[in-house]
Amino acid sequence: MESVDIREMSGLALAYLGDTVWETQVRLYWVKKGFNISHLNYKVKKFVNAKAQSHYYQLLKEELSEEENAIMRRAKNANIRSFPKSCSNQEYREATAFEAILGAWFLQGEIDKIQAFANRILEKE
């Protein structure tokens, strides 16, 4: 993978990537568990939404380095132009921050961090 300086990337670009990274991790976890398609969709929706991701943001922010928290702050404070009605603006901003750190980890090759966090969350289910 080409080297990218994540400090120069926008928080929203990192979140855009992180959204896919998170959904892929969640889907992969449940597919490996052997669920059929209708159950897969139900399971994935439960973990891939702004309210849930806002909660994951709260869990992660205490565990991260100052540099990682700076990435999340940058995404959380980004100029987001529209918000869904399914959550509060604050929850959406926190979900964006959560996705941004996943995008950053992905670009840094920290797949093990992503998988460890996903497993920690998903195994509680």
In angstroms, the CA 33 to CA 54 distance is 25
| Best CA proximity match to 54, nearest among 109, 12, 110, 96 | 96
Residue 19 annotated to the active site: yes
Q: Which of 6, 19, 60, 94 is catalytic?
A: 19
| Best CA proximity match to 21, nearest among 118, 89, 92, 91 | 118
Residue pair 53/99 in contact by the 8 Å Cβ criterion: yes
Cα distances (angstroms) measured from residue 49 to each of 34, 36, 109: 22, 21, 24
> Which residues belong to the active site?
19
